[in-house]
Structure 1
């Protein structure tokens, strides 16, 4: 993991965005991959590609496929490296923003004021994914975990861990 785990801190759950968030990227990659093949057959039927034009077309297709694969890889990397970790002491949200930018936010459970789970739309309802919004007393007013699976269970987990954290602080005093 990218964040430093503290002593006696247990990871309760690790979350990524729901897999359905990758449907748009997958459809885009498939459509963009099929496009040059269709163009080849159209061009070949109207303009018979001679040796020079054929080689130029193949070179252009190769560069195009490298571009499409790079875009698909960056999209997958953004999906895979966006992680939220909930421990018994805090919530850590790791957001990959592009290839070389990463934002790590953390919120201690003792600072939690309100937790809300939201499911929007038919797809979210059918596949059980949505947003979890954690409001805090700290610098960052809202802490949003986007499109996570089972948002109501995650909300309950954070509330239960918050209660345990508060009871632990009362006992320590």
Structure 2
């Protein structure tokens, strides 16, 4: 007797045979996702490039032995209020030490002046008390003048970090001017060396043209202008690489 083909009347052995004859469809094999690995690889390459640029920068600069240098490389004790938490100070510049010679000679002349004036007969007509007070007052003026000149040289600094160039002009104890520009905003860097003293002692002015709010930042009478230009060139290349790889802070 033939078996019914209707689903309601299918025999159990027919159902098992049909199930065994039709194999299950194969499961799709999932390919491993390489996005994270690729990202890590790019990050690793970025760090190596950045480290290579930084090594080149410090190779150009060399080392500084004392904190009162006018060419201070990677200072450990120097800091400024506007510094970001993750910002690295690469170079701190001051005017070349030879530029202090003028006010040092003036200070020495002011120190010697009262001694020379004692030989003038006119001063002998003043009472000794007035002479003493005048000398004390003169030396006080001399001290104030020399101390202000020293502070002006020490605190008028030009700073190069891994992110920007900074010009801090110290006017007096109560005021200062702060100018900055991002490394990525630098358009052109030139140097000017004029005169025998600047040529002999290797110092001069550096003009930095920028696309920032401050169109130009000038480093005045700083030592080793050619080295500074090379360092800024390396930092600009590093910044361009960060822009390409998307690692800009």
**Length-normalised TM-score, structure 2:** 0.64
**Max radius of gyration: which structure?**
2
Q: Deviations over 1:52-101 (max 9, x none)?
A: 71221111010011011101111111111011111111111111013321
Partner of 2:200: 126
1:116 has 2:180 as partner: no
1:88 has 2:174 as partner: no
SS in 1 for 2:158: strand
Instruction: Name the CA distance, whole Å, in 2 between partners of 1:115 and 1:100.
Output: 32
1:78 has 2:152 as partner: yes
Structure 1 position 28, deviation (Å):
0.7
Partner of 2:214: 140
Q: Deviations over 1:16-54 (max 9, x none)?
A: 1110111110011111111111011223xx66x37x712
Structure 1 position 172, deviation (Å):
0.5
Structure 1 position 7, deviation (Å):
4.2
Instruction: Name the CA distance, whole Å, in 2 between partners of 1:134 and 1:99.
Output: 27
Instruction: Name the CA distance, whole Å, in 1 between partners of 2:106 and 2:175.
Output: 24
Alignment equivalent of 1:57, drawn from 120, 131, 137 = 131
- The structure carrying a bigger strand percent of its residues is 1
Instruction: Name the CA distance, whole Å, in 2 between partners of 1:65 and 1:6.
Output: 42
Partner of 1:102: 176
Alignment equivalent of 1:39, drawn from 117, 129, 137 = 117
Instruction: Name the CA distance, whole Å, in 1 between partners of 2:191 and 2:230.
Output: 9
Residues 93 and 159 of structure 2 are in contact (CA less than 8 Å); yes or no, is this contact kept in structure 1? yes
Instruction: Name the CA distance, whole Å, in 1 between partners of 2:84 and 2:140.
Output: 42
Instruction: Name the CA distance, whole Å, in 1 between partners of 2:202 and 2:217.
Output: 20
Residues 74 and 99 of structure 1 are in contact (CA less than 8 Å); yes or no, is this contact kept in structure 2? no
Instruction: Name the CA distance, whole Å, in 1 between partners of 2:154 and 2:85.
Output: 27
Partner of 2:143: 69
1:14 has 2:104 as partner: no
Residues 116 and 133 of structure 1 are in contact (CA less than 8 Å); yes or no, is this contact kept in structure 2? yes
Partner of 1:161: 235
Which gives a bigger RCO, structure 1 or 2 (Cα 8 Å, sep 6+)? 1
Q: Which runs of 5+ in 2 are unaligned?
A: 1-78
Q: Which runs of 5+ in 1 are unaligned?
A: none
Residues 128 and 150 of structure 1 are in contact (CA less than 8 Å); yes or no, is this contact kept in structure 2? yes
